[in-house]
Structure 1
C-alpha cells in the first residue's frame, strides 16, 4: 500500500499520484498556487484517489465563495457516486464525512470530525491544516491553539513540515493571548523555514496585538523577499504592513499599499483579499478620511460576491464597501436578503447562526454609523462585542468592529462607555498611538483637558520613537 511522506497509508493507485499529493500538501502549507496544479495532477494519475478528491473539495470550499463551493460540491458528488466507501481506509472515510459536513455548511461538525482524525492520526497534515482554517473561519481561538498543540508531540524536528506546524501553533497561541510564547514559537518556525508565510503572519499578529508596530515594520522589511510575492497570502501580509503604517501615522504609505496590492489593477478580487481592502479603508472612514473613489471600485468588486449568503464575515465587509461608497440602498438590500435568510430554517448551517448572532447586527451598525445614528450603533454592537469572534477572522481583523463601537460611543456622547473601551485597549496595547489618540478624545469629552494633552503627547512620542 502506498504511504504519504508522513508515513500514513493511502488508497492511491500508484506512487506518482502520491508524489503529486505530497507536493500539493507542501504547496498548501506554503499557500502557493501550485496546490491546484499538483492536486489536479494527482487526480489525473488516479481519478479515484480518495485523498486527492477530498483535498480538491476542501480547496473549493475554503475560499469562502459561493460559486467555488458549488463547483466543489459538483465535483465531489461525482466522486462519491463512483466510489464504494466501505472499501476505503477508515481515515479516508473520516475525511469524506468531514467534507460532506462542510458541503452541508456545517463548519463546526466538520471541524470536530477533523479533530477526531487528528486524535487518531496526528501526522495527517491535511486534517491539521484544514482544521486550522476551519477554526479560523469560526473564530475558535482555543481550537486554533489546541488542535495543533495536541498533535505536535507526534512530529519531529527533522520532519519537512515540522516548522509549518509550529507556524500554525504560533498563530493559535497569539489568538489565545499567549503573546510571548507565540513570538517564541513563530520565530522558531521562520528560522526553520524562512518561506513559511503563515509563521511570518503569526509573528506579525503578535506584534500587532501588543502595539509593537515599529518592530512589526522592521520584521516585515527584513523578510520582504520571503513573504511579499509568490504566494496566495502575500496580500494579507501587506495588509498587516498597511496597519502598521496607519499606527505610525503614515496614511500615504498605507494607501500606496492599497493601490499597489490590496485592490490595485492586478488584484485577483477574491473575497479573502477584498476583506483586507474593506478593513483598511474602513479604518480611514472612521477617521473621516474620504476615499470615495476607492470605495466605489471596491463596492463594484464585492457586488457579485455578495449576492447570496454564504459567510457572514464576507457580508460585513461587503456592506463596509457599500457604505463607504455611499451606496446605502445596496447595503440595505444585502441586509434585507440576510434577514430573509435568517428567517428560514437552516438546520446545521453554521453561517445561519453567524449571520443571526453577529453578521446582521454588525451590518446594521455599519449603515447606522454612516447615517450618524451613533446611539443605534452602540445599541447594536455593545451587546455583541465579546462574541464578534463567532463570525470568524482574527482579533486584528475584527478590530474594525470594535473601533466602530468606540468611535460611535465618542461621537454619540457616551463618554463613560468610551472611557471603559479605551481603558481596555490601552491596558492591553499601551504602545498603540491610536489608543492614546482615542484616550485624548474621551478625556476631552469628559472635560479633562490635562489628561487629553498628556494622551496626545503620549501618542506623538510613540510615533516618533
Structure 2
C-alpha cells in the first residue's frame, strides 16, 4: 500500500519525497509551467519504479506531439517494472492508457482515461491528459463532456478546481457554448490569474464570436500573467496575431511572429512552428509574400526531418515549404506519408488521420500554390465538415477553411464562394475578413454597389478593432 495524493488517490510505490515532487509536477502541468519536467524527474529519482511517476513521464513525452520525444518515452517506459507488484485499478488504467498511446493508439488512450474519470472524477492528471487527447484528435464533444462530467465531484475550494474549470471552459467554447465558456473561463482566471489555459479559452470565445477588440483588451490587461513562464505563451501570442490580421494590422502580426512565434531563439518545437506557419499562411492568402520569413520557417521544419507521427503537424510543415516556394519539399512530405500508408505495418491512429484529412489537405495546399484553385476546391469541399478529425481547434483549422474560400473566389466558383461567405458572416458578422471576401465576390459578379457596401462594413469593423489600441 502506497501513500495517497491530496485527493485521496493512491500512489503505489511512492514515499513522501516522491509524492511531494509528483504533486508539484501536477500543479505545474495544470498551469503549463516548465518545471513539470524537473519535478517528474525528481519523483522518479526518489522512487524509480513508482507506477504513476513513470506514467506521468510517459505522458510528458507524448503531449508535445514530438515523434523523437515519444520514441524516447516509449523506450524508457518499456524498461519500467512496477513496484509494488500489486497496483490499484486506477493506476492500472493509467498504465494501460499510457501504453496505448505509446503504441500509437491515441483514441484508445482517450477511451481508457474517459472510463477512468467516471470512477475517479477527481483525478486531475487523467482529466488533463484526456482533455489534451480530445484536443489533439479534434473531438469537441468529448472535450466538453469529459471535464463537464467530472465537475460536480469537485469542491470549489479545491486548489485544482480552477484549472479543471478552465478545461471545461475550452470544451464549452469548442462546442459553441460561448457565453457559458466565457463565464467559466473568467471564473477560473479570477481564481488563478496565471491560469493560461483558462485565459486561452476566454480568448477563443472572443475569436469565434468576432469580438476581436475585446480579445485584444483582454490579453493586454493580463500581459504579465500569460506572456512568460509557461508553455502556452507562444500560442496565446498567436491569437493576438489573429486579432491583428482581422484589424488589417499585418505589420503588427508580423512583429509578433518575429518577436515570439519564430526567430533565432526559437526551439523548433512543433507546437510553436505550426503557430508560425498558421499565422503566415493567413497573411499569404492575402497575397502578401513573406519569402524571407517563410524560408527561415521552412528551414526549421526541414531540420526536424519528421517521420509520420501527427498529421496536423505535417500540414503546417507543408504550408511553410509552399510559402518558401519549395514545392518539391512539400511534395516529398506527401510522398513520404503516402508510402507509409502503402507499406504493410502496424496501423496507428495517425494513419487514419493522415489518410482521411492530412493528405487531402496537403494536396489541396499544393494545388493552391500551383494555381490549381479548382483542384483545391474539389479536394477540400468533401472534407470541410470533418477537418476536426485530424486535430486542433476551430480557430486553428480556419486556415484551411480560408484557403477554401480563397480558392473558390480565384476559381470563379461564385455559388460556392457565396455559400461559404454567407456561412461565415452568419457566424461572425463582425469579421472584416468575411466582409472583404463578400466585396470581392460582388466585384466578380459586377455588383459594384454591393461591393462598396461590403467594404464599408469591413472598414467599420476594422475601425472598432483598432480602437482597442487607442488609435
* CA positional deviation for 1:347: 5.2
SS of match in other structure, 1:329 = helix
SS of residue paired to 1:420: helix
2:224 corresponds in structure 1 to: 225
Query: How far apart, CA to CA, are the structure 1 residues paired with 2:20 and 2:85?
Result: 25
Residue 420 (structure 2) aligns with: 421
The residue aligned with 2:55 is 54
Residue equivalent to 2:106: 107
TM-fit CA distance, 1:86: 5.3
1:265 paired residue number: 264
Q: Tell me the residue number matched to 1:90.
A: 89
- Structure 2 residue aligned with 1:207: 206
Aligned to 1:28: 29
- Give TM-score, length-normalised by structure 1: 0.98
Contact (CA 8 Å) 1:65, 1:305: kept in 2 or not?
Answer: no
Please state how far the C-alpha of 1:83 moved relative to its aligned partner: 2.6
Residues 50 and 83 in structure 2, CA contact (< 8 A), matched pair in contact too:
no
Following superposition, the deviation at residue 447 of structure 1 comes to 2.2
Written as runs of structure 1 = structure 2, the 5 A alignment for 1:23-422 is 23-79=24-80, 82-83=81-82, 87-346=86-345, 348-422=347-421
* Cα separation, 1, equivalents of 2:305 and 2:341: 16
Q: Distance in 2 between the 1:13 and 1:405 partners? A: 53
CA distance in 1, matches of 2:114, 2:70: 22
Compute the displacement of 1:303 (Å): 1.2
1:117-146 residue CA offsets vs partner (Å, 9 max, x unmatched): 101100111100000000000000000000
Question: Shift in Å at residue 205 of structure 1?
Answer: 0.3
CA distance in 1, matches of 2:115, 2:33: 27
By how many angstroms is 1:349 displaced? Answer: 1.2
Q: Is the 8 A contact 2:50 2:82 kept in 1?
A: no
Per-residue displacement from partner, 1:250-274 (whole Å, max 9, x unpaired)? 1111011000000022212100111
TM-score, normalised by the number of residues in structure 2: 0.97
Farther-moved stretch of structure 1 (25-34 vs 348-357): 348-357
Task: Count residues in correspondence.
Answer: 463
* Cα offset, 1:157, TM superposition: 1.1
Question: Which region of structure 1 is more displaced relative to structure 2, 266-275 or 403-412?
Answer: 266-275
Runs of 4+ displaced beyond 2 Å: 82-86, 304-307, 344-348
Q: RMSD value over aligned CA atoms?
A: 1.1
Cα drift, residue 446 of structure 1: 2.2
Secondary structure of 1:360 counterpart = helix
SS at match of 1:267: coil
Q: The residue matched to 1:304 in structure 2 has which SS?
A: helix
State the match for 2:469 in structure 1. none
Q: Secondary structure at the match of 1:386?
A: helix
Shift of 1:90: 1.0
Q: Is the 8 A contact 2:278 2:316 kept in 1?
A: yes
Q: 1:306 touches 1:318 (CA, 8 Å); kept in 2?
A: no
Conserved? CA contact 1:54–1:96, under 8 Å: yes
Distance in 2, Cα, partners of 1:327 & 1:444: 33
Unaligned runs of 5+ in 1: none
Deviation, structure 1 residue 319: 0.2
How far residue 345 of structure 1 moved from its aligned partner, in angstroms, is 4.2
1:307–1:334 Cα contact (<8 Å) kept: no
Which residue does the alignment assign to 1:14?
15
2-structure distance, mates of 1:125, 1:463: 41
Distance 1:151 1:346, change over 3 A: farther
8 Å contact kept, 2:295–2:324: yes
Give me the whole-angstrom Cα distance separating, in 1, the residues matched to 2:403 and 2:50.
48
